[in-house]
Structure 1
Amino acid sequence: MTEQVTRCGYVAVVGRPNVGKSTLLNHILGQKLAITSRKPQTTRHNMLGIKTEGAVQTVYVDTPGLHIGGKTALNRFMNRSALTALKDIDVAIFVVDRMRWTDEDEMVYERIKYLTCPVIIAVNKADRLEDKSQLLAHLEWLAEKLPDAQIVPMSALHGHNLDTLERLVEGYLPESEHFFPEDQITDRSSRFLAAELVREKIMRQLGAELPYQITVEIEEFKQEGRILHIHALILVERDGQKKIIIGEKGERIKRIGQEARKDMETMFGSKIMLNLWVKVKGGWSDDERALRSLGYQEY
């Protein structure tokens, strides 16, 4: 009896901020792993999303959006992380937003065009276009820019045409032993995922008021019987930002905690006791040493 050939490889999901990379990863994995919001630069770290189906294991690398004007140490860290993900990969998925092409898309393109591995252009939100002839012209323009790339119109949010995208990716993966156990879905710890869920709820709730200078640190993560106790510290840079997050009579932080707890209970399969604090730590987002101590390290 012949042994089944196993395939495995790394697939970087790249693009400018807020183009749908994390939503795409969550839909491919069939569960929420990467946090999402309408705000650009929601994703700050590279994170692996591992999908194993039979003989094929695909290791997706979700990356921060490449953006122009890295003004702070945090911005520079995010751009470096995204570029690091392009090293030693087997496939790149370049996510673009239907008809829009910005300076930041051009910036990603300038990095992508030198790759020697296969590139797939995933044209997101293609299902929202009424006039398909417009889309066709745009796809032809993209094909001229990256003539060797495969182009897949799709919708990350509604899962439209993702099976085509996955089949293409699978065809490019090299024969290899699997890198991770069959049941592992990410390289990140539960503490990291808990911190990200709290940060997602803050970003979704605050909208235009959102201070970008926020981060979340998990100070305690302890299972006691059927209850998982999580203590999360929300760091901001100014007193005014602390007031915004706490809200009138503590209403906003209470709502952030309720929503984060709900997602955590689904993710960790346990009853959650979540405690949130807010603390001011001036200048952390532009301090390389502070960033390292808060877990902003390149993998």
Structure 2
Amino acid sequence: MTVDQPDATQWHAGFACLVGRPNAGKSTLTNALVGDKVAITSSKPQTTRHTIRGIVTRDHQQLILVDTPGLHRPRTLLGERLNDLVRETLLEVDVIGFCLPADQKVGPGDTYIARDLAELQRAKRVPVVAIATKSDKVDRERLAEHLIAIDQLGDWAAIIPCSAVRGDQVEELFGVLVEHLPTSPAALYPEGQLSDEDDDKMIAELVREAALEGVRDELPHSLAVVVEEIVPREGRPDDDPMLDVRVNVFVERDSQKAIIIGRGGSRLREVGTTARVGIEKLLGSKVFLDLHVKVAKDWQRDPKQLQRLGF
């Protein structure tokens, strides 16, 4: 009797979605798994506005990570659309990672998401791995209490504590997520590719991340960024090219515009200096970043403006 040998060229490849309430550590965890920065991070909740795909490829295993906006009770049309985006994404993935930060008790927001996931599991049988993020911020006793609370919240395929900042259990989490991916005759993306986000979206996110640092709590939700154009600077030598990147930063009120610009333009210069470092790394070229701050009154509630700003 012959025994079929496993196909050495067969891949396990598919999509995993990280979900959780705002500021649960999803973007930081995405970056840790990928090993590079593909999603912006901030201490401000609801930083992620789009689904970000990070790609991890190792030894005939390819995990495409979808980092989504945090699920929350929406107060604006933008909030409703972000929640819809998350739910649409959940229907298309092979496994879900539910992030619950260890430095915060399991609360109503987590219960709200757990109910959504339970319905999805019944409808589509998508496995859900519960992830206790930010494990480095608590002691062992508090982490054990948190894991028990997570266990009582739902029926999970696995429960994994991890710290994206320290790298604790990140590899173990990768292994658990990959176990739930389908087989594939080949990788879904070329090896070495870390994300499928286009340059315009990544540049906009880098500018928004820089602009979010140190601002008041109400401002992050009112901030939108649109890349107008990326053009080569004329007259530059072939061995020292430069790109002109023109970007518009939109806020909802004149008072917010003043905050972003700062006294004498000082705040906007800081934003430009910080963002330019990431943009030059992304584009592989020197960059002149031209930032303009504009007011789009109440854009979060206006369907036409939401469409113009890419939502």
Please give the range of the TM-score, normalised by the shorter of the 2 chains.
over 0.9
Map of 1:71 onto structure 2: 75
In the TM superposition, what is the alpha-carbon distance from 1:222 to its structure 2 partner?
A: 2.0
Q: Distance in 1 between matches of 2:154 and 2:132?
A: 13
Q: Are 1:217 and 2:195 counterparts?
A: no
Instruction: Report the counterpart of residue 195 of structure 1 in structure 2.
Output: 204
1:44 aligns with 2:44: no
- Offset at 1:211? 5.1
Q: How far has the Cα of 1:253 moved from its partner?
A: 0.3
1:230 Cα deviation after fit: 0.6
2:263 matched to 1:248?
A: yes
1:14 maps to which residue? 19
Q: Tell whether 2:133 aligns with 1:124.
A: yes
State the 1:209 CA deviation. 6.3
Helix, strand or coil for the counterpart of 1:181?
coil
SS at match of 2:78: helix
Question: Which of the numbers 198, 206, 218 marks the counterpart of 2:215?
Answer: 206
**Which secondary structure state, in structure 1, belongs to the residue aligned with residue 167 of structure 2?**
coil
Identity %: 36
Aligned with residue 114 of structure 2, among 88, 109, 117:
109
Separation in structure 2 between the aligned mates of residue 163 and residue 49 of structure 1, nearest angstrom = 15
2:99 pairs, out of 83, 86, 95, with 95
Shift of 1:236: 1.2
Separation in 2, partners of 1:138, 1:26: 24
Deviates more, 1:221-230 or 1:21-30: 221-230
SS of 1:113 mapped into structure 2: helix
Which stretch has the larger CA shift, 203-212 or 286-295? 203-212
Tell me if the contact between 1:14 and 1:62 (Cα under 8 Å) persists in the aligned partners. Answer: yes
Matching of residue 173 in structure 1 with residue 181 in structure 2: yes
For 1:275 and 1:237, the matched residues in 2 are separated by 20
Distance in 2 separating the partners of 1:73 and 1:148: 32
More displaced 10-residue stretch of structure 1: 17-26 or 285-294: 285-294
Question: Which digits, 9 at most, give the CA deviation of each residue in 1:200-248, with x for residues without a partner?
Answer: 1111131446352121110111234521211000111111111111110
Which shows bigger deviation, 107-116 or 40-49?
107-116
RMSD value, Cα:
1.7
Looking at structure 1, the residues matched to 79 and 249 of structure 2 have their Cα atoms a distance apart, in angstroms, of 19
Once residues 153 and 211 of structure 1 are traced to their aligned partners in structure 2, the CA distance between those partners, rounded to angstroms, is 29
- Counterparts in 2 of 1:228 and 1:139: CA distance versus 1, 3 Å: same
C-alpha distance in structure 2 between counterparts of 1:207 and 1:32, whole Å: 25
Deviation at residue 4 of structure 1 after TM alignment: 1.7
Say which of 29, 32, 51 aligns to 1:24: 29
Is residue 86 of structure 1 aligned with residue 90 of structure 2?
A: yes
Equivalent of 2:308 in 281, 286, 293:
293
The TM-score normalised by the length of structure 1 is 0.93
Amino acid of the structure 2 residue aligned with 1:158: R
Distance 2:272 2:145 in 1: 46
Aligned length: 294
Separation in structure 1 between the aligned mates of residue 130 and residue 284 of structure 2, nearest angstrom:
36
Unaligned runs of 5+ in 2: none
1:133, distance to aligned residue in structure 2 (A): 3.1
| CA–CA separation in structure 1 for the residues paired with 2:193 and 2:177 | 20
Counterpart amino acid of residue 231 in structure 2: K
List alignment gaps of at least 5 residues for structure 1.
Answer: none
User: What is the CA distance between 1:184 and its match in structure 2?
Assistant: 2.6
Deviation at 1:96, TM superposition (A): 0.2
The 8 Å contact of residues 211 and 241 in structure 1, kept in 2 or not, is answered as no
> Structure 1, residues 237-275: CA drift from partner, whole Å, max 9, x if none?
111111111110110001100000012122222111100
SS in 2 for 1:92: strand
- For 2:61, the aligned partner's letter is V
Q: Could you state the TM-score of these two structures normalised by the residue count of structure 2?
A: 0.90
Question: Any conservation in 1 of the 2:251–2:293 contact (CA below 8 Å)?
Answer: yes
- Greater CA radius of gyration, 1 or 2? 2
Superposed counterparts of 1:240-279, under 5 Å: 240-279=255-294
Residue 3 to residue 133, structure 1, CA distance change in 2 (3 Å): closer
Q: Secondary structure at the match of 1:260?
A: helix
Once the two structures are superposed, residues 162-209 of structure 1 have per-residue CA deviations (whole angstroms, 9 ceiling, x without a partner) of 011001111111101322222332222101100111111111131446
Aligned-partner Cα distance in 2 for 1:148–1:247: 48
C-alpha displacement of 1:127: 2.4
